[in-house]
Amino acid sequence: MVRETGAAYLEAPVSGSKKPAEDGTLIFLAAGDEDLYKAVAGPLDVMGKARFYLGEVGNGANMKLVVNMLMGTLMSSLAESLALAEKSGLKQEDLLAVLGLGATSNPMTALKGPSMAQRKYPTAFPLKHQQKDIRLAIELGEQHKQPLPVASAANNLYLRARDQGQGDADFSAVLEAVLEAHK
């Protein structure tokens, strides 16, 4: 509809939450009119650390869903790891230290793990939005006949956490659903 008016259109969803937005380190996932993408490169570079031109409209949104699906499943696995460590008599802090030193080291575990161990979930990306993105990624998978069993399992955990009243908490509050399931 925008193009029918003679205007150009560019979608530019981002990868990153509150802190990256404040720090100007967002990742832009742009799609649509390539000339417009080139024209707004300067402002995007000021607001972010990277930008990608992904082709036709819809590809930016789809990339965000794929990225957020992985982020959500990783967080679910971290929650299960923390819960199992605790139930096994291991210190969650020790688990986080081991994870930080090996092949599983990643910024999300380093950022979210310590607050999860304290069962605190300061909101950067609300759990209800993470669940929505996983659901939409599952729908995208269905459109392309791509099964997503791990994402489907993670979605169930996010639904449980949301139903427990964690919807407005950070998506790391999925730990509450994992802990509840282990009771």
Residues in the chain, overall count = 183
Exposed, middle or buried: residue 164 (CB in 10 Å: 0-12, 13-18, 19+)? middle
pLDDT tens per residue across span 154-171: 999 999 999 999 999 999
Exposed, middle or buried: residue 53 (CB in 10 Å: 0-12, 13-18, 19+)? middle
Please give the C-alpha separations between residue 88 and each of 23, 35, 47, 92, 105, in angstroms, as whole numbers. 39, 56, 44, 10, 22
What is the model's pTM? 0.92
Q: Hey, what domains does the chain have and what are their CATH numbers? A: 3-57 (3.40.50.720), 61-181 (1.10.1040.10)
User: What pLDDT score does 40 carry?
Assistant: 97
CB–CB of 54/60 below 8 Å? Answer: yes
pLDDT tens per residue across span 109-149: 999 999 999 999 999 999 999 999 999 999 999 999 999 99
Active site residues: 64
Average pLDDT over residues 62-78: 98
